[in-house]
Chains A and B, each alone.
Chain A
Amino acid sequence: MNNEIDHELPDFSKSEALTLGIELELQIVGGQDYNLIGAAPDLLREMTGREHPGDVKPEITDSMIELSTDICRDYKDALSQLRSIRNELVRQADRLGILLSGGGTHPFQHWGKQAIFDAPRFHLLSQLYGYLAKQFTIFGQHVHIGCACPDRALWLLHAFNRYIPHLIALSAASPFVQGFDTGFQSARLNSVFAFPLSGRAPFVLSWDEFNTYYRKMIATGVVKSMKDFYWDIRPKPEFGTIELRVMDTPRTVERAAQIAAYAQALARYLLEEKPTEPREDDYLVYTFNRFQACRFGYDGTLVVPGSAEQRNIGDDIIRTMAAIEMHAYDLGATEALNLLRTEVLQSRNGASEIRRIYANEGSLEELVRQSCELWAGRA
């Protein structure tokens, strides 16, 4: 199936500017031992024919599942869609005696025990990447932001790079990997970095140039389609969106909707106020900033691109929230922004909650159990 090569980039579809789409990769957890369980085929079978907005799809290993919303207008819409998909998923999981959880990593699963979901594309990836494919049992949130035209999409993509640390710090929920505290707030992203085509998109601002780049890459034989790029932000021409991919799946759908709303308001601010013009040199500090956010979250240091100014990431989020407040208001996302602001002010995110629970309970299984209850909206 995926042996075919997309020689041409698909045309950039028209989509309404600033619409939202959210994808969440979820952990499927066994009710017996709280470890990941390969129940995606069961869950997908029981989900077929059930009424819910959006879609539910398999992911690379059979202990993962991905839910996605339809196109959402705003925060309220996204929240209600996410809740109803979540409710249906939880209902079916309950019937199957399995659990679902948010969070960027499963705290104690062993990658060697994962099985690749039985679909040609996933087997191909597994062949190519070897153990990396199984280590890719990590769970992210992707937010699509609709763009009216491809050039604006590329402009927005590069303007967003400065705010990537915000999205990481707000969503970070993967401190534990393979049973150990990594010290990172988002250890999930470390697994993404292992892939050869991860990182940032090339700095081009017009779709024609991007197309040229794409053709060159196809010609090298390194990639076969847009799907092979694991960039932090990538254009999605089929949807007419840019896709923000750095977030961990938050521990609740509510938080996922809030983060999407923050990104939407930020996009509107960037597009309408044009506070900066993106430049290649912005990327000089990109990986440093991103590392700081993954490692320290709100307490990390962010170097403002184009200057030597160092800021605390949490402070920078609060400042940005002040700047985008009116846009959030216009988009109906004030509530989301306020909830997130409280979290930042109390330096709380998924990672800090996970560490707090582990410190209290002293058991990773209990941590997973509580995460599942929280995800189901029962906690």
Chain B
Amino acid sequence: MIPDAFNMSSINEPFAFFLPAWPLLLSPPLWIALAVALAALAGEWVRRYLGLPRITAYPVVGMLVATVAGDRLVAEHDEWLRWGLNVALAILLFELGSRVDLRWLRHNRWLLATSFGESLAAFAAIFAISRYLGIASEPAALLAAIGMSTSPAVIMRVVTESNAQGQVSTRLLVLTALNTIYSVVTIHLAMGMLHQHYSGDWVLAISHPLYLLGAGLIVGKLLAMTISRLHHWLTLRDEYASIILLSIVLMTIGLIEALRLPVTLCMLFAGIVLRNGERRAWVFPEHFGSVGGVLVVLLFLVVGIQIKMEHLLTGGFLALLLIGARSLAKLCGVLLFARPAGISWRQGLLLGVALSPAAGPVMVAASDLGQIYPQLQGTLIPVAMSAAAIMELAGPIIVALCLKWSGERRE
């Protein structure tokens, strides 16, 4: 990419050696930065004139940018973008984990029942539809596993940005954290089955999830311990302490990758351990969240860049069916236990609907699947891609509206 300035045969030869070549050779990071700035501006516009959270604008801008510039942008900077996104996601999940109060789950068993209920229902709904479309049970299980999870990024950002507090938003966070955990473990199992890694070896099949959960918990525990030690002699709520937290998180991500563990799981566990490990009150440092906030723009932008116009259309009716069935399943799972779990029907309705945004990795997983099973290209892949794309764009708006109607938004 670096232009060879000394190449005398260049047609773009400048008049003098210190002048740039013409037309200017602009490096892709400049375009990415421009896209980020556009996204941020669009975010402000959306917030001011439509009263929606900023992140609703980011994927849309990403999609538009990709249509104009092509996805060359991201592809060439895969490595550092991936790190940026990992960090953004890691911080989000860490914070999400620290919102899960295990004591609450002990006091309110029906909340736990709600969590199992909505996750299982979503799994069942997607599995059934995939099978109906004629997909083998292993890939169907993988899709269903992915579909269990509510997008942690969307939920965290919308709740944080609307400054929402109350039963719907708090339960939304807890249920999202839990269904993400179920989903990650099930995805790994389904992948194992799909790649026939187990091939009838039950020891392997059983030790795989145990390794994920056990090692994930240990890494989480280590991170939580480090931070809580630091917290004792350093006010981590200080702005300058963010850099320490950030570097610790980066180190942890390195460790997680070395151990071949999912970042999602480890960071969620770290948050949960940190929150519940000690009796002392733990409040997530605000400044730390805002470091992540900047990266989040990038996260949603990149998600948007991966969406192509045709994705929205190819899935057609079947994509809508998939979305509808999954959302309905989650809604029913929540409503079934709403009253015993201590929320009103109205709150249950809003909570159930707000759980519908699908997690970002759906599209990645779907295209991976497509490569393994070329025969799926015709049926499943376009449908799943389409469903995911629609939900990426609509998810933040749905959650924002649910929080608004719940009356828990405080801006």
Contacts and interface: CB of A to CB of B under 8 A. Distances in A.
A365 B410 contact: no
A30 B101 contact: no
A37 B165 contact: yes
B342 interface: yes
B359 to A, nearest CB: 22
A365 B342 contact: no
B342 A46 contact: yes
A30 B165 contact: yes
A369 B165 contact: no
Interface stretch (A78-86, A89-97, A240-248, A291-299): A89-97
B99 A366 contact: no
A310 interface: no
B104 A365 contact: no
Interface string A92-116: 1011110000000000000001010
Contacts, number: 57
Interface in A159-194: none
A350 interface: no
Contacts of A42: 166-167, 342-343
A369 B282 CA distance: 10
Given A38-B165, A42-B167, A366-B281, A94 B104 contact: yes
Interface in B135-175: 165-167, 170-171
A137 to B, nearest CB: 14
Given A31-B104, A32-B99, A45-B344, A365 B281 contact: yes
A38 B166 contact: yes
A347 interface: no
B281 A97 contact: no
A39 B104 contact: no
Contacts of B281: 34, 363, 365-366, 368-369
B108 interface: yes
A29 B286 CA distance: 19
B344 A31 contact: no
A33 B283 contact: yes
Interface residues of B, number: 20
B107 A94 contact: yes
B72 interface: no
Contacts of A94: 104, 107-108
B280 interface: yes
A92 B104 CA distance: 11
Contacts of B167: 39, 42, 96-97
Contacts of A361: 280
A95 B108 contact: yes
B280 A97 contact: no
Q: Which one of B111, B170, B344 has the greatest number of beta carbons of chain A within 10 Å?
A: B170
A49 B297 CA distance: 47
Interface residues of A, number: 24
Given A95-B107, A369-B281, A115 B166 contact: no
A95 B106 CA distance: 9
A264 B261 CA distance: 66
Interface in B86-123: 99, 101, 104, 107-108, 111
Nearest to B408: A38
Given A34-B281, A38-B165, A366-B280, A97 B344 contact: no
Nearest to A93: B107
Nearest to A36: B165
Given A365-B283, A366-B280, A32 B170 contact: yes
Given A32-B170, A97-B108, A92 B283 contact: no
Given A32-B170, A96-B167, A113 B410 contact: yes
B148 to A, nearest CB: 23
A143 B366 CA distance: 66
Interface in B261-298: 279-281, 283
Contact of B342 (A30, A31, A37, A95): A95
Contacts of B283: 32-34, 365
A45 B342 CA distance: 9
Contacts of B343: 42
A113 B342 CA distance: 25
Nearest to B174: A97
Interface string A19-37: 0000000000011111001
A334 to B, nearest CB: 36
Contacts of A97: 101, 104, 107-108, 111, 167, 170-171
A30 B410 CA distance: 14
Contacts of B341: 95
B363 to A, nearest CB: 31
Given A39-B167, A363-B281, A366-B281, 12 more contacts: A32-B99, A34-B283, A38-B166, A42-B167, A46-B342, A94-B107, A95-B341, A96-B167, A96-B342, A97-B107, A97-B111, A97-B167
Chain A to chain B: the 6 pairs with minimum beta-carbon distance, closest first: A94-B107, A365-B281, A97-B104, A369-B281, A95-B342, A366-B281
Interface of B: 99, 101, 104, 107-108, 111, 165-167, 170-171, 279-281, 283, 341-344, 410
26 contacts: A30-B165, A31-B101, A31-B104, A32-B165, A32-B170, A32-B283, A33-B283, A34-B281, A38-B165, A39-B166, A42-B166, A42-B342, A45-B344, A94-B104, A94-B108, A95-B107, A95-B341, A97-B101, A97-B107, A97-B171, A113-B410, A361-B280, A363-B280, A366-B280, A369-B279, A369-B281
